Amino acid sequence: MKNVFFFLLFLTSIALVQGCKKSTEPENPPTLVFKTGAGYTATDAIVAKSATVKVGVTATKTEDDLKTFNVSVAFDGASATTSKQSVDIPSGNTQFDSDITITTRNQAGSEKWFFTITDVDGNVVQKTITLTVN
């Protein structure tokens, strides 16, 4: 009886370990695209000081629900960014759209803008646009 108990305990342990292994299937992160068309900036650009630029993004769920959207900027080649907008996306949304109005600084330099979407599983997709301010 003791041997049967230990054998069943051993089988249960193996089943639990197998169930806890991470899936080898590749993750499907959400998609993130820039809106194009009249009035939108969708690529790197040279702009004037204090210019107003409109960037539009559309994020779409592929596997997991969308969780957050963040806009941040790094000035003049800096590696550190400053968050300018952060949005918690309500669960169940399969798509997220946003138009962001950017006003560049009143000085020459570069502004690298980061647009980041994260899903509930932690998958991150990021797009950037660099504005060169003259």
Output the tens digit of pLDDT for each of the chain's 134 residues: 565 555 545 555 565 555 554 555 668 999 999 999 999 999 999 999 999 999 999 999 999 999 999 999 999 999 999 999 999 999 888 999 999 999 999 999 999 999 999 999 999 999 999 999 99
- Nearest CA among 128, 111, 129 for reference residue 49: 111
> Length of the chain, please?
134
Using the 8-state DSSP alphabet, how is residue 63 labeled?
S
Q: Residue 65: what are its φ and ψ, rounded to 5°?
A: -60, 150
Which pLDDT value is given to residue 105? 97
Q: Which CATH architecture has domain 27-133?
A: Sandwich (2.60)
Which pLDDT value is given to residue 95? 95
- Nearest CA among 80, 81, 63, 64 for reference residue 72: 81
Distance CA 13, CA 103 (A): 59
pTM confidence score: 0.80
